[in-house]
């Protein structure tokens, strides 16, 4: 479609200029489909005419562009969850839950969020944090829910005591209205109008995605941690779960069994605590596996460092001491001992499973018991057990032996012959370099491009806010490597990892489960290096499906 | 040399067994030299007959092996600085300085050390810390001085209040004697005898190293930050300085100018503070350059994150507020703002220089003014300015432009034509992957293998104590990758970096300045990949010289 300017002077037609006509996602989708159906363009051309990112406009309520033009943003942060959100400012998860349950629209504003804030994040229209990066807790959770979110807003200072949010010269109080544009990262004072449509009622959208599905080679999976998310993911077209994180399953009431395990002084004590977690974990996995049926579900074993499960504030430490019947000094000492200088490079991932094999055992048992239960109910599920943070083949072998032993025991106990795989996340640079060695025993690879990007660049995703803006402004980086795969650097490691992995295991299943799995350019890169699937937040699946189709069309066109 | 067992039975000689005779470093050196001079073996064979690590016994006082046999170690930590040390326990740097100045032998025992403890580390016989890894502050400083040091002693709990060190069941008080074997990482209660010899009086040692120097292709440099260390380094055979860190130059009284810069609200304020630092920095560089003369001196621009320069305790924050005439709240706010989740992957290295180009400008000016001064005194020095933490070619270009502009200005002002190079540290995995791009503008590479190992493995050197022992015990790792280059993984990146760098700049000067520069196996690897030099702590230079000679002999023998 072209916008053309012309004039007629003295009976003569003058064409002044012509350029591609701007259209929003809804219009672009409709035009592409209608033109194809009228025989003006092929289906392939139709698929290429919609930018995958334009689908965001159909998938999320968007800020009315007309309103955005007449208002000035009071601050800017990182666009962590697309779409728009408007509501009253609240500064605590409890308050968000309280007002949200009454049907009030609220925006949760915090320095950062933690798993303990989730109950207030859910009812909020949007989330705004002053700290954190594109893969901070707030960003990950919000994107998983398709919720509008802005993080790392350095211009925002929160005064919790006086319940006010200070944006430079503008100070907003609790209850004041605020509007976020999560697609651009801009923040407005007051209530701005949003526009929303329901994609499922849009026949053009459905048709275009149907064509995309028939065209793409890459499979698409979702990152989902609960049966509810898994169900939603299937609705968005998920052909499996590429990343089911298990750490969320240790919060809420279960934190007490987890803390008991952390405080235990010996193996027996840890096992007692883990025994309490086992039935709950089994139930988690049962729910997700059953929803997904025969679709593969990649379950990542416990990943975060243990200090994320202990309280750092005095009051909470006292509560912990009293509930576990130990002294406050013991709690403090443990919290202190677990503290790390650089937790992201610390005692976590498979390193935990190697120090405490009983954690791996419990999780492997929970997964296999859940799978056996599904089988016994006639549902043939397909768990893929993923060992995180592998850097050497020996680490993988160590953990695989444990998982395999437990799996065989459970399947014998239950008399079921469950099909399963044991594989690993490739998220440490060294793992990509020695992928041939790792693939000798690993049955699948999933590229964890969030951590891989952090370590390959030496950027902490939580701290990069301090310089990443400068880097983008000064064109030192072309784009944020946490949003789009850095093909020049990180991409080399991914390509090397795929090639070397398949050099020792030709049928190695390879996917990606970092945030990049929902980024169109990154999806195309994944296609080019020969991955089997991409996995992303459920709400980004339509984008991934279209991008995957475009990748194939573009590749075949040469 | 062989130990042989034999017996004579009924007039018949029976040879029972024979094996290589054990001998200490002093004996091994003497035997090798004497046998060669008697024509029994060649010089090459003599050089191969002494293990480089055996030279440690000549370079440091060692724990008497006889005494070690009759005593049981009370704890074990990481062997961060070789040799033995014995003295009375003290728990603070001030106390160490106080007793040390009276000629008492003390061992400084701390959870960890910081630049503010240096005045007490110097007079101590040895240093013992409960936390930290092989490249923690204590380990780096001690090794630089050739001082015995054990770090990351997880069995040690310090009760500063009651001035006691608890090693499991053994509790020692301030003033109690303790003995460390820094070569093995073992700790003994009480005073054990040490053995010391002076290598400079050992003719065999001197002869052997002379042969090594005539044989090796690799040059050797030292890591040194002061004129005193530089002088010592020359004594140990340094042919240049491979790493002159500049961060140490911002402590002591100068910390106040540094803090003023950090607190400054605008460019003008930062420049005012930096102007105060300029003459001091110039003096630092002048001293080191002049000592080294025409030998190259690689000076690394400011590397650590700014929060290392601000105080984290209330009392010190109050002092800072009063000295800088600002409010305590302002200090606290800045300290809070500078806090990072993963400082090692945070706002440091060239990222600081990009956000605050005025820091790079000041350091470049100080270096070039110092060099010009040396020239004007007839001493032709050779500074190599090193930009740290480069991950992209654009970062390097950004900083090189600044350094070059300042250098040209200064040299014009001073009317001197100083020869200098601008290069970079390769310490981020991505830098090795895009080394061809970086070498288009960088004139030398120095592999910073400490950080490169941290990021390639995803191990924080300060936190790895929590699992690295398990990894070594379980043979998941063959050796500590912070001591010996991990050839399988990190080594791939080094080799790639050298090859790609030279693909765009054939005369690229390449060295290594991580701790590995003094490790015999790593030195051999550096020779194999074609580096020009290795750089290590002055006290490890003799080891590097012998290892470099062995590398060449072994390579030529095929």
Q: Mean pLDDT of residues grouped by 10 in chain B (558 residues)?
A: 89 91 87 96 96 86 86 92 94 94 94 87 95 84 87 92 92 96 94 85 93 98 94 95 92 91 94 96 97 98 94 93 94 91 94 96 98 98 98 98 98 97 98 98 97 97 81 90 95 98 98 92 97 94 97 93
B435: nearest CA in chain A?
A: A489
B244 three-state secondary structure? strand
One-character DSSP codes across A352-414: HHHH-HHHHHHHHHHHHHHHHHHHHTT---EEEEEE-S--SHHHHHHHHHHHHHHHHHHHHHH
Specify the higher pLDDT residue, A468 or B550: B550
Which pLDDT value is given to residue A143?
82
B-interface mutation test, from A138, A340, A342, most B Cβ less than 10 A away: A342
Q: Are strands A164-167 and A170-173 parallel, antiparallel or unpaired?
A: antiparallel
Closest Cβ–Cβ partner in B346, B394, B493 for A466: B346
Count of other CB atoms within 10 angstroms of residue A256 = 14
Q: What is the rounded CA–CA span in Å between residue B294 and residue B290?
A: 8
Q: Are B126 and B148 in contact (CB under 8 A)?
A: yes
Q: Are A475 and B415 in contact (CB under 8 A)?
A: no
Closest Cβ–Cβ partner in B343, B389, B476 for A342: B343
User: Do A463 and B392 count as a contact with CB atoms less than 8 A apart?
Assistant: no
Which pLDDT value is given to residue A381?
98
* Nearest chain B CA: its distance from A488 CA (Å): 7
Burial of B9 (0-12, 13-18, 19+ CB in 10 A): exposed
Looking at the DSSP assignment, which residues form a beta bridge with residue A62? A195
Q: What is the rounded CA–CA span in Å between residue A429 and residue A451?
A: 9
Q: Which residues of A touch B344 (CB under 8 A)?
A: 341-342, 345, 458, 460
Which pLDDT value is given to residue B201?
81
* Nearest chain A CA: its distance from B457 CA (Å): 6
Q: Helix, strand, coil % (nearest 5) of chain B?
A: 50, 20, 30
Report pLDDT digits (tens) over A403-414: 999 999 999 999
B137, B307, B516, B527: which one is catalytic?
B137
Which pLDDT value is given to residue A532?
98
How large is the average pLDDT for residues A262-276? 95
Which pLDDT value is given to residue A25?
86
Q: Which residues of A touch B429 (CB under 8 A)?
A: 429, 455-456, 458, 489, 493
Q: Are B430 and A489 in contact (CB under 8 A)?
A: yes
Neighbouring residues of A132: CB distance < 8 A, sequence distance ≥ 6: A112, A138, A139, A151, A152, A462, A465
Q: Are B139 and B121 in contact (CB under 8 A)?
A: no
Q: Measuring CA to CA, which residue among B148, B187, B181, B132 is closest to residue B165? A: B187
Grade residue A539 by pLDDT with cuts at 50, 70 and 90: confident
B-interface mutation test, from A429, A440, A465, A495, most B Cβ less than 10 A away: A429
Q: Are A339 and A308 in contact (CB under 8 A)?
A: no
Closest Cβ–Cβ partner in B347, B454, B493 for A466: B347
Q: Measuring CA to CA, which residue among A426, A482, A476, A417 is closest to residue A454? A: A482
Q: Are A308 and A354 in contact (CB under 8 A)?
A: no
* Nearest chain B CA: its distance from A437 CA (Å): 10
Write the ipTM: 0.86
User: Do B346 and A395 count as a contact with CB atoms less than 8 A apart?
Assistant: no
Report in angstroms the alpha-carbon separations of B363 from A16, A344, B226.
56, 32, 16
Q: What is the rounded CA–CA span in Å between residue A127 and residue A140?
A: 11
Specify the higher pLDDT residue, A248 or B316: B316
Which pLDDT value is given to residue B539?
87
Q: Are B124 and B61 in contact (CB under 8 A)?
A: no
Q: Measuring CA to CA, which residue among A443, A284, A444 is closest to residue A371? A: A284
Grade residue A243 by pLDDT with cuts at 50, 70 and 90: very high
A-interface mutation test, from B330, B341, B487, most A Cβ less than 10 A away: B341
pLDDT higher than threshold 90 for residue A60:
no
A-interface mutation test, from B304, B458, B491, most A Cβ less than 10 A away: B458
User: Do A433 and B355 count as a contact with CB atoms less than 8 A apart?
Assistant: no
Closest Cβ–Cβ partner in B392, B459, B488 for A477: B392
* Nearest chain B CA: its distance from A47 CA (Å): 35
* Nearest chain B CA: its distance from A401 CA (Å): 14
Q: Are A448 and A470 in contact (CB under 8 A)?
A: no
pLDDT higher than threshold 90 for residue A527:
yes
User: Do B466 and A430 count as a contact with CB atoms less than 8 A apart?
Assistant: no
Grade residue A200 by pLDDT with cuts at 50, 70 and 90: confident
Report pLDDT digits (tens) over A64-91: 888 888 899 999 999 988 899 999 999 9
* Nearest chain B CA: its distance from A321 CA (Å): 21
Catalytic residues of A: 137, 513
Which pLDDT value is given to residue B209?
96
Q: Are A397 and A437 in contact (CB under 8 A)?
A: no
pLDDT higher than threshold 80 for residue A198:
no
Looking at the DSSP assignment, which residues form a beta bridge with residue A78? A151
User: Do B343 and A343 count as a contact with CB atoms less than 8 A apart?
Assistant: no
User: Do B430 and A490 count as a contact with CB atoms less than 8 A apart?
Assistant: yes
- Our measurement of the distance from residue A50's CA atom to the centroid of its chain's CA atoms, rounded to an integer in Å, reads 24
Q: Which residues of A touch B493 (CB under 8 A)?
A: 429, 433
Burial of A105 (0-12, 13-18, 19+ CB in 10 A): middle
Which pLDDT value is given to residue A467?
87
Q: Are strands B170-173 and B164-167 parallel, antiparallel or unpaired?
A: antiparallel
Overall pTM > 0.90? no
Which pLDDT value is given to residue B462?
81
Tokens of B92: 């603070």
A339: nearest CA in chain B?
A: B463
User: Do A345 and B458 count as a contact with CB atoms less than 8 A apart?
Assistant: yes
- pLDDT > 90 fraction of chain A, expressed in percent and rounded: 80
Which pLDDT value is given to residue B418?
97
Tokens of A240: 């499996």
Grade residue A171 by pLDDT with cuts at 50, 70 and 90: very high
| Residue B252 Rama label (left phi>0; alpha psi -120 to 50; beta) | left
Looking at the DSSP assignment, which residues form a beta bridge with residue A158? A165
């Amino acid at each position: 479609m072209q916008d053309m300017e012309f004039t007629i002077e003295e009976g003569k037609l003058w064409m002044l200029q012509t350029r591609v006509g701007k259209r929003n996602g809804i219009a672009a989708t409709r035009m592409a489909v209608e033109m194809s159906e009228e025989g003006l363009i092929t289906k392939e051309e139709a698929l290429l005419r919609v930018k995958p990112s334009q689908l965001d406009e159909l998938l999320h309520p968007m800020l009315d562009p007309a309103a955005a033009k007449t208002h000035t943003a009071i601050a800017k942060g990182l666009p962590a969850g697309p779409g728009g959100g408007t509501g009253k400012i609240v500064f605590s998860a409890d308050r968000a839950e309280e007002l949200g349950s009454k049907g009030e629209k609220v925006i949760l504003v915090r320095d950062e969020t933690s798993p303990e804030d989730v109950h207030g994040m859910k009812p909020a229209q949007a989330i705004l944090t002053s700290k954190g990066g594109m893969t901070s807790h707030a960003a990950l959770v919000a994107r998983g829910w398709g919720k509008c979110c802005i993080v790392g807003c350095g211009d925002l200072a929160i005064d919790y005591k006086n319940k006010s949010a200070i944006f430079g010269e503008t100070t907003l109080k609790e209850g004041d209205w605020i509007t976020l544009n999560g697609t651009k990262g801009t923040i407005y004072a007051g209530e701005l109008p949003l526009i929303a449509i329901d994609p499922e009622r849009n026949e053009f959208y459905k048709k275009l995605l149907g064509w995309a599905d028939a065209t793409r080679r890459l499979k698409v999976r979702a990152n989902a941690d609960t049966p509810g998310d898994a169900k939603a993911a299937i609705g968005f077209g998920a052909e499996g779960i590429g990343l089911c994180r298990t750490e969320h399953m240790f919060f809420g009431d279960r934190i007490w069994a987890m803390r008991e395990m952390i405080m235990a002084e010996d193996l027996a004590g840890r096992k007692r605590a883990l025994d309490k977690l086992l039935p709950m974990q089994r139930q988690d996995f049962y729910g997700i596996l059953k929803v997904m049926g025969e679709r593969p579900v990649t379950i990542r074993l416990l990943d975060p460092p243990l200090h994320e499960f202990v309280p750092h504030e005095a009051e909470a430490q006292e509560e912990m001491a009293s509930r576990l019947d130990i002294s406050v000094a013991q709690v403090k000492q443990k919290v202190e001992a677990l503290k790390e200088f650089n937790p992201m490079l610390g005692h976590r991932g498979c390193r935990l499973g190697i120090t405490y094999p009983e954690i791996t055992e419990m999780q492997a048992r929970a997964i296999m018991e859940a799978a056996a239960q599904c089988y016994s109910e006639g549902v043939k599920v397909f768990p893929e057990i993923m060992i995180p943070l592998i850097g050497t083949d020996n680490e993988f072998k160590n953990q695989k032996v444990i998982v395999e032993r437990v799996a065989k025991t459970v399947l014998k106990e239950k008399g079921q012959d469950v099909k399963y795989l044991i594989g690993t996340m490739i998220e440490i640079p060294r793992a990509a370099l020695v992928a041939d060695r790792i693939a000798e025993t690993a049955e699948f690879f999933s590229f964890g491009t969030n951590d891989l990007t952090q370590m390959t660049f030496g950027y902490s995703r939580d701290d990069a806010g301090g310089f990443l803006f400068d880097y983008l402004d000064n064109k030192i980086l072309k784009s944020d490597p946490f949003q789009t795969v850095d093909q020049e650097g990180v991409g080399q490691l991914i390509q090397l990892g795929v090639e070397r992995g398949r050099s020792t295991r030709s049928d190695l299943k390879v996917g990606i489960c970092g945030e990049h799995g929902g980024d169109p350019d990154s999806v195309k890169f994944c296609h080019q290096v020969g991955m089997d699937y991409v996995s992303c937040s459920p709400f980004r699946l339509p984008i991934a499906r279209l991008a995957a189709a475009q990748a194939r069309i573009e590749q075949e066109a040469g």
